[in-house]
Amino acid sequence: MPIYRPPLRDMQFILHEVLGVSDELQALAPHAQLDQGTIDAVLEEGGKFATEVLFPLNIGGDEEGCTLDQTTHAVSTPKGFKEAYTRYVAGGWAALSCDPAYGGQGLPMVLNQCFYEMMNSANQAWTMYPGLSHGAYECLHAHGTREQKDLYLPRLTNGEWTGTMCLTESHCGTDLGLLRTRAEPRADGSYRITGEKIFISAGEHDLASNIVHLVLARLPDAPAGSKGISLFVVPKFEPRADGSLGERNAIYCAGLEHKMGIHGNATAQLVLEGASGSLVGQPHQGLAAMFVMMNAARLGVGNQSLGLTEVAYQNALVYARERIQMRSLSGAKAKDRPADPIIVHPDVRRMLLTAKAYAEGARALSLYCALLLDKERSLPDGHLRQDCADMLALLTPIVKAFTTDNGFEATTLCQQVLGGHGYIREWGMEQHVRDARINMIYEGTNTIQALDLLGRKVLGNNGATLRKFGQLLGRLAAEEGGNGKMTEFIEPVVNLGRQMTELTTDIGLRSLQNPDEMGAAAVDYLRAAGHLVFGYFFARMAQVALRKIAAGSTDPFYPAKLQTARFYFARLFPETATLIPRARAGSGVLMDTDLALA
Ligand SMILES: Cc1cc2nc3c(=O)[nH]c(=O)nc-3n(C[C@H](O)[C@H](O)[C@H](O)COP(=O)(O)OP(=O)(O)OC[C@H]3O[C@@H](n4cnc5c(N)ncnc54)[C@H](O)[C@@H]3O)c2cc1C
């Protein structure tokens, strides 16, 4: 039977010992009273919910999937999903980090991020239902009118209703400028929306009484392309002013996708037949408004892969300790048994440690980003808020793409640890691989994240934010410059920082002549940047661990952290030696290949 244990110790280490979140949060007015005890208590309870309620539904949800009744357009989620959602709502979990003005608990995003990691480990498909609701909540909170906020936010906050994001159409996913769904203004100020959306996660289900669809569509006078897209809120049932459910709106599920993973989540084809909607934000500014949701979702998708990496690692570790095959190359280790447990073999350890290092690096980065989000919202100083927003913008594509690429590699390696038993269903490992694959595709494919990072976030501001990240690195190097024990962790990152600066200038100059140069370099550039960021966080984690050991701690957690950090720098970080020449290889070898691709 698969297992899952919430990684509370590692979360607490990053939150309290590396990031010092209690002090950081107490400096923010909304969280001034929040202490470490409360944070830890919420994490513990959240871990119980994930383990006891969601995890037992993961395999069954994958096997059963969702079903559509073609006559009523109703979708049934797998057995137990609805009951779990009822418990989620009753436990107040939906409201965790929502605004108290709408009934939320007002807890920080950094705490929500931990909770979501655990839910993703336990059951990614289920977790996508509340995850999308939270995105819809964020979008309406940022861009909704007073009436929209008063109507929708309290019910998204308490989980009574869920949300979706409806962007994709059959002919357009990446290029939303091509979308065709139309919105015609009506005399009463509402809009009549007609079109077809595909691939809409949580687009129809039986968990909640209403679904709040956020739909991108074009107004009649819209300019062509992405500058002509507006955002609308289109509820499944049109609510009356008091929030009670009125007419069934003309937005229906016409089909469910049959897909590789996340079977428990309904991926819906939605048909809008003159559905009634109201405009969110300004006309033709829909993409900008939707970006609030998309940015939150990108951090969320990184978190999905973090969750899968962690749960796959835990199960591979248990298996590797129990499964006996062959003897250790350096002599029998379990002499009382006919063979040694496979964990004695160096390559099995490489696979396990890869997953562990990717999980721990991703957790540090993801929680750092969530803290930036809290600070961006609540720091009193506008300049500091902007700094946090800039850094978050830089790191978001890295969280999304680097964590999800690593997550797929890690779950595949964990599957490999189980040999043939990883390929069959019984152990649950092949599900993690299948579930992890979508995270590299949706919310903007990882290529699009790479273009966003290099094109917009780095070259777009002449590397200004990247230099700010470099300053963090510089501070760490200055702080620990004289500490020989930190050299092995800091030197490689500082060297990579130097190489990245040169690489950025080089690509920037070449892109001025030929923009394909940027497109050719972007994916390798993002991976190298991912290692720069992970390297920085592993150095910070090593710094804390070394200090604790020097102060006399005998907690094995700290030497274990150092071992993982050393593995990371020795076996994963050196990938940058290949990535940098690849990013420099230029566009010619890709673009002058018409014969090869004929
Ligand atoms: C299970 C599932 C759930 C989803 N959930 C949602 C949802 O809830 N809401 C929603 O709106 N959508 C959702 N999507 C859609 C998803 O976001 C899109 O599939 C994704 O954005 C890619 O779009 P596409 O499939 O049309 O691929 P395309 O845009 O056709 O891309 C095909 C390939 O071309 C590459 N490409 C495209 N343009 C460029 C470029 N300029 N430079 C380099 N490479 C490029 C892409 O990276 C990709 O590899 C979901 C999809 C799936 C499969």
- For position 290, what pLDDT does the model report? 84
What spacing in Å lies between the alpha carbon of 167 and ligand 1's midpoint? 10
- For position 499, what pLDDT does the model report? 97
Instruction: Please state, in angstroms and as integers, the Cα–Cα distance from residue 19 to each residue in 36, 149, 370, 537, following that order.
Output: 12, 33, 11, 10
Record the pTM. 0.98
User: What is the rounded average pLDDT of the residues 268-288?
Assistant: 96
What spacing in Å lies between the alpha carbon of 444 and ligand 1's midpoint? 6
CA distance 506 to 520: 13
Condensed to tens digits (0 to 9), the pLDDT of residues 223-237 reads 999 999 999 999 999
Is the distance from the beta carbon of residue 233 to the nearest atom of ligand 1 less than 6 Å? no
Condensed to tens digits (0 to 9), the pLDDT of residues 511-543 reads 999 999 999 999 999 999 999 999 999 999 999
What spacing in Å lies between the alpha carbon of 175 and ligand 1's midpoint? 9
User: Band of the pLDDT at 263, cuts 50, 70, 90?
Assistant: very high
Q: Which amino acid is at 247?
A: E
Instruction: Please state, in angstroms and as integers, the Cα–Cα distance from residue 42 to each residue in 6, 105, 156, 157, 362, following that order.
Output: 12, 12, 21, 18, 21
- For position 568, what pLDDT does the model report? 98
- For position 159, what pLDDT does the model report? 97
- For position 481, what pLDDT does the model report? 81
Is the distance from the beta carbon of residue 173 to the nearest atom of ligand 1 less than 6 Å? yes
User: What is the rounded average pLDDT of the residues 178-190?
Assistant: 97
Is the distance from the beta carbon of residue 11 to the nearest atom of ligand 1 less than 6 Å? no
* Protein residue whose Cα sits closest to atom 41 of ligand 1: 448
* Protein residue whose Cα sits closest to atom 26 of ligand 1: 173
CA distance 318 to 522: 38
Residue 569 has pLDDT above 90, yes or no: yes
279 bridge partner residues: 232
Q: Using the atom order of ligand 1, give the atom closest to the CA of residue 441.
A: 20
Can you read off the two tokens belonging to residue 327? 């003897």
* Protein residue whose Cα sits closest to atom 37 of ligand 1: 174
CA distance 214 to 203: 10
Residue 545 has pLDDT above 80, yes or no: yes
What spacing in Å lies between the alpha carbon of 247 and ligand 1's midpoint? 33
Residue 482 has pLDDT above 90, yes or no: no
Catalytic residues: 443
Residue 293 has pLDDT above 80, yes or no: no
Is the distance from the beta carbon of residue 176 to the nearest atom of ligand 1 less than 6 Å? no
- In DSSP notation, 445-506 reads -HHHHHHIIIIIIIGGGTTHHHHHHHHHHHHHHHHHTT-GGGHHHHHHHHHHHHHHHHHHHH
How much of the chain exceeds pLDDT 70, in percent? 100
- In DSSP notation, 401-421 reads HHHHHHHHHHHHHHHHHTTHH
Q: Which of 134, 139, 165, 168 to mutate to test the pocket of ligand 1 (most atoms within 8 A of CB)?
A: 168
Is the distance from the beta carbon of residue 434 to the nearest atom of ligand 1 less than 6 Å? no
Q: Which of 129, 440, 442, 591 to mutate to test the pocket of ligand 1 (most atoms within 8 A of CB)?
A: 442
CA distance 298 to 291: 10
Q: Which amino acid is at 275?
A: A
What spacing in Å lies between the alpha carbon of 169 and ligand 1's midpoint? 10
- For position 294, what pLDDT does the model report? 81
The set of residues, in sequence order, having a beta carbon less than 8 Å from that of 103 and lying 6+ positions away, is: 95, 154, 157, 158
Residue 291 has pLDDT above 90, yes or no: no
Residue 292 has pLDDT above 80, yes or no: no
User: Band of the pLDDT at 274, cuts 50, 70, 90?
Assistant: very high
What spacing in Å lies between the alpha carbon of 216 and ligand 1's midpoint? 15
User: What is the rounded average pLDDT of the residues 349-374?
Assistant: 98
Q: Using the atom order of ligand 1, give the atom closest to the CA of residue 168.
A: 11
What spacing in Å lies between the alpha carbon of 432 and ligand 1's midpoint? 21
Task: Return the closest-CA partner of residue 13 out of 592, 494, 561.
Answer: 561
Is the distance from the beta carbon of residue 445 to the nearest atom of ligand 1 less than 6 Å? yes
Contact 117, 286 (CB under 8 A): no
**Cα atoms in the Cβ-side hemisphere of radius 13 Å centred on 38:** 15
Is the distance from the beta carbon of residue 276 to the nearest atom of ligand 1 less than 6 Å? no
